[in-house]
C-alpha cells in the first residue's frame, strides 16, 4: 500500500493484475481500446474518488438528507461532487455511444464501481441505479423512449430509480398492488405507493425517471401479471421545458442505520403519467435486466467494503501498539509491539484481504462474461454461466464484506465502536448490501432453485469443468499442487451435493429452502477457491519464469504475496465450506419441527 496514512487508496495494482495477467480478453492491437487506455481511465477514476469522495464521506454521514414538505435535499458536498462526476462523463462509462456513453467495457466499470463504494458508499448509489435503469430501457424500451430519456440520463442531467417494493411486500413482488390504466396508445396512469426507493427524490439532478412495477386491470395474479412503466417526476410542458409536475410525490424519507447521505424514499404515484416498457404483463422480465446489473454492482459493493475495511485495519494494526508478542519482543524500541504481530489480528487482516482480492477476481470474471452478453448473438453457455455466478457474487461477497467490516471494528477495539475511527460507518453503510436487490436468502433460493436445479445442474457443471481444467493443467506446480488437489475434490463434490439436495427436494420442496443458504455459502467459498488458485498459479508461473508477465514492471513481492495469501485462503477460509456442507445435508427437521406456540415460549 503506497501510503498507509491515507484514508483510502484504490487498489490499482491488484486491478491491473486482473486486467493484464488474469483476463481472458486479449489486448489486441485491432481493438479500439487497449489495456493502457483502460489503466489511464482507471487511474483518473481513482484520483477522483480519493480526492473528491473520500473527504466528504464522514461529513455526508453526519449531515444526512433533509425532508421538507415533499422536497429532499442531500448534503451539499455530495450534490456538488455528483455534478462534477456527471459533468466529467463518468456516468456513461459503459453505455452505448449513440446516447452519449463511452462504450467502454464492463471490466473497467466494475473496477470504478468498487472504488466508488470504498470511497463513499452513499454517493455510489445514484450513479449505479441510474445506469441500471438505462440498461433496462436499452433492452426493452421503445425507440421513442430511448431517444427521449437515455441521453439525459447517461449525461447525469436526469437520474433514475427502480420502484419495486411496497409496504406489504418486500421480495415477494407477486403481491404488488400498484395499478396502471391505459389512457391512450402507449400511455398509462399509474397509481400506488412504493417504499425503500433509493434516490427517489433529491436535488442533485433536474428530473428523476422512475421505473415502476404495476398491475393492469385484469392481469394475471402474481409476478406474471406485472408490467413495467417509465414514470418521470416531471413532464415536458408546451414550451418544451421539463418542468410540468407529474403527480409523483415523495411523502417521506427513512431514518436509517446507515447510508445517511443517500435518501431512501416513500414515493406516491397519484394518477401519474407513465409509459410502458416492453410488453404488458412482462414487466418482471424487463425489471430483471435492471436487477441483474444491480446484483453484480452490489457484489462489488461487498468487495469495496472488504477493501476499505482492510485498508483501515492494516494501517491501524501497523501503528497501534498493544502488549508484547507471545514469541518474543518484536519492537524493543517501543513500550509494546504493534498489533500486526499478533496471530489473531493477522487472522482477521488476512481474512479481509482474501475476501477483497478473491471477490474482485470473481467480479472481473463476471464482468468479462457480461461484456460478452452485450455482443450480438451472445453464446448461451456464457449467459448460463453468468446467471449461475450472479447470485453467488451478490450473496457471498456482500456477506463477506460485512464480515470484513466487523473485523475492522474488532481490530480497532474500543476505538472501532466510536465514530472517530470511521470503521463503524463502514459497517452501518455496508449492512444494507446483504438486503437490497434480494436478500441473501433470496439469492440462495435463486441459485439453488433456478440456476442449478432449474438447469438440471448444467450451469454448475459448466463451472466445475473450468475448475477441473485449472487443476489438471497446473498439477505440476510444486507450490500449489497440494491446494489444487483439494480444490479438485471440491469441484467433484459440489455437483454430488446438488444431486442429494435435489433428491430430497423432489419429496419435499422445503428441503431445498432449508439447504439453500448453506449451499450458497459453500458455493461462494469454492468459487473464491478457484479464483485464488488461478491467481496463485499465475503468480507462481511468472515467478518461476514459466510465463512472461504482460506487465513487465510487476512487483515480485506482489506476486509472492498472491501465493502466500492463496495458501492462507486454502488453509483457513476454504475449510468453512465443510461446515456448510454438513448443515445443508442435515435436512429441514430441526428447523421446522417447532410449532408457532413453541417458538414463542
Which residues are the active-site residues? 437
Contacts of 40 (CB under 8 A, 6+ apart): none
Beta strands in 445-533 (DSSP E): none
Phi, psi of 190 (to 5 degrees): -110, 135
| Sign, Cα dihedral of 159, 186, 191, 169 | negative
Angle at 240 between CA 234 and CA 246, to 5 degrees: 20
CA distance 224 to 205: 34
Alpha-carbon separation of residue 158 from 176, 208, 293 (angstroms): 26, 6, 19
Q: Output the nine-digit C-alpha cell for 180.
A: 396502471
CB 178 within 8 A of CB 190: yes
Q: Max Cα separation, the chain?
A: 82
| Distance linking the first and last C-alpha atoms of the chain | 53
- C-alpha cell belonging to residue 325: 508478542
How distant, in Å, are the alpha carbons of 140, 148, 185, 366 from that of 144? 12, 6, 13, 32
CA 549 to chain CA centroid, nearest Å? 29
According to DSSP, residue 32 is labeled: S
For 539, phi and psi rounded to 5 degrees? Answer: -65, -45
Residue the block writes with cell 464480515: 403
- Sign of the alpha-carbon dihedral angle for 133, 24, 488, 575: negative
SS3 37: helix
Instruction: Quickly tell me which residue has 427521449 as its cell.
Output: 148
Whole-Å CA distances, 87 to 44, 137, 155, 363, 467: 14, 22, 7, 27, 43
Using CB atoms within 10 A of its CB, is residue 221 exposed (0-12), middle (13-18) or buried (19+)? exposed
Alpha helices in 374-412 (DSSP H): 380-412
Helical axes 510-543 vs 380-412, angle rounded to 10°: 80
| 161/124 Cα distance (integer angstroms) | 13
C-alpha 250/C-alpha 69 separation (Å) is: 9
DSSP for residue 461: H
Amino acid at each position: 500500500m503506497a501510503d498507509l496514512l491515507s484514508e483510502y487508496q484504490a487498489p490499482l495494482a491488484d486491478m491491473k493484475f486482473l486486467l493484464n495477467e488474469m483476463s481472458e480478453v486479449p489486448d489486441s492491437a485491432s481493438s479500439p481500446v487497449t489495456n493502457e487506455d483502460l489503466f489511464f481511465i482507471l487511474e483518473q477514476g481513482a484520483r477522483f474518488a480519493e480526492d473528491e469522495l473520500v473527504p466528504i464521506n464522514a461529513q455526508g454521514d453526519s449531515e444526512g438528507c433533509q425532508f421538507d414538505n415533499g422536497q429532499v435535499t442531500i448534503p451539499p458536498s455530495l450534490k456538488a461532487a455528483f455534478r462534477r462526476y456527471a459533468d466529467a462523463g463518468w456516468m456513461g462509462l459503459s453505455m452505448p455511444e449513440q446516447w452519449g456513453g463511452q462504450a467502454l467495457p464492463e471490466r473497467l466499470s466494475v473496477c470504478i464501481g468498487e472504488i466508488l463504494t470504498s470511497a463513499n458508499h452513499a454517493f455510489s448509489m445514484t450513479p449505479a441505479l441510474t445506469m441500471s435503469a438505462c440498461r433496462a430501457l436499452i433492452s426493452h424500451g421503445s425507440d421513442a423512449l430511448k431517444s427521449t430519456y437515455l441521453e439525459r440520463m447517461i449525461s447525469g442531467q436526469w437520474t433514475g430509480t427502480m420502484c419495486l417494493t411496497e409496504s406489504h411486500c418486500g421480495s415477494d413482488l407477486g403481491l404488488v398492488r400498484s395499478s396502471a390504466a391505459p389512457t391512450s396508445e402507449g400511455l398509462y396512469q399509474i397509481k400506488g405507493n412504493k417504499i425503500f426507493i433509493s434516490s427517489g427524490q433529491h436535488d442533485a439532478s433536474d428530473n428523476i425517471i422512475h421505473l415502476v412495477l404495476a398491475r393492469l386491470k385484469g392481469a394475471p395474479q402474481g409476478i406474471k401479471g406485472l408490467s413495467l412503466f417509465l414514470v418521470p417526476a416531471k413532464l415536458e410542458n408546451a414550451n418544451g421545458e421539463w418542468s410540468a409536475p407529474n403527480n409523483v410525490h415523495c411523502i417521506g424519507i427513512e431514518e436509517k442505520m446507515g447510508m445517511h447521505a443517500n435518501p431512501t424514499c416513500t414515493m406516491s404515484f397519484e394518477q401519474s403519467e407513465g409509459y410502458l416498457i416492453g410488453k404488458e404483463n412482462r414487466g418482471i422480465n424487463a425489471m430483471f435486466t435492471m436487477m441483474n446489473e444491480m446484483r453484480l454492482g452490489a457484489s462489488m459493493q461487498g468487495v469495496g467494503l472488504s477493501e476499505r475495511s482492510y485498508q483501515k485495519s492494516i494501517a491501524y494494526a501497523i501503528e497501534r501498539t498493544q502488549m508484547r508478542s507471545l514469541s518474543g519482543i518484536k519492537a524493543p524500541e517501543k513500550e509494546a509491539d504493534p498489533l500486526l504481530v499478533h496471530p489473531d489480528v493477522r487472522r482477521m487482516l488476512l481474512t479481509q484481504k482474501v475476501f477483497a482480492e478473491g471477490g474482485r477476481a470473481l467480479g472481473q470474471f463476471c464482468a468479462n462474461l457480461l461484456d460478452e452478453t452485450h455482443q450480438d448473438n451472445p453464446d448461451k453457455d456464457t449467459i448460463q454461466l453468468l446467471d449461475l455466478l450472479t447470485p453467488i457474487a451478490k450473496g457471498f461477497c456482500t456477506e463477506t464484506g460485512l464480515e470484513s467490516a466487523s473485523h475492522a471494528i474488532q481490530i480497532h477495539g474500543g476505538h472501532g465502536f466510536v465514530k472517530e475511527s470511521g470503521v463503524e460507518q463502514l459497517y452501518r453503510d455496508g449492512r444494507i448490501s446483504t438486503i437490497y436487490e434480494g436478500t441473501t436468502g433470496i439469492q440462495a433460493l435463486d441459485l439453488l432453485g433456478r440456476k442449478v436445479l432449474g438447469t438440471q445442474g448444467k450451469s454448475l457443471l459448466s463451472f466445475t469443468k473450468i475448475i477441473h481444467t485449472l487443476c489438471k493443467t497446473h498439477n505440476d506446480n510444486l507450490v500449489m499442487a497440494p491446494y489444487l488437489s483439494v480444490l479438485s475434490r471440491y469441484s467433484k463434490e459440489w455437483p454430488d451435493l446438488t444431486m442429494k439436495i435435489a433428491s430430497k427436494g423432489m419429496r419435499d420442496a422445503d428441503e431445498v429452502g432449508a439447504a439453500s443458504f448453506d449451499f450458497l455459502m459453500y458455493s461462494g467459498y469454492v468459487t473464491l477457491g478457484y479464483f485464488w488458485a488461478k491467481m496463485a498459479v499465475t503468480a507462481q508461473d511468472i515467478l518461476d519464469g514459466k510465463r512472461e508477465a504482460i506487465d513487465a514492471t510487476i512487483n515480485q513481492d506482489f506476486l509472492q504475496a498472491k501465493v502466500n495469501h492463496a495458501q492462507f485462503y486454502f488453509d483457513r477460509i476454504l475449510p468453512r465450506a465443510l461446515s456448510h456442507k454438513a448443515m445443508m445435508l442435515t435436512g429441514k427437521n430441526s428447523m421446522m419441527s417447532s410449532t408457532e406456540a413453541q417458538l414463542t415460549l
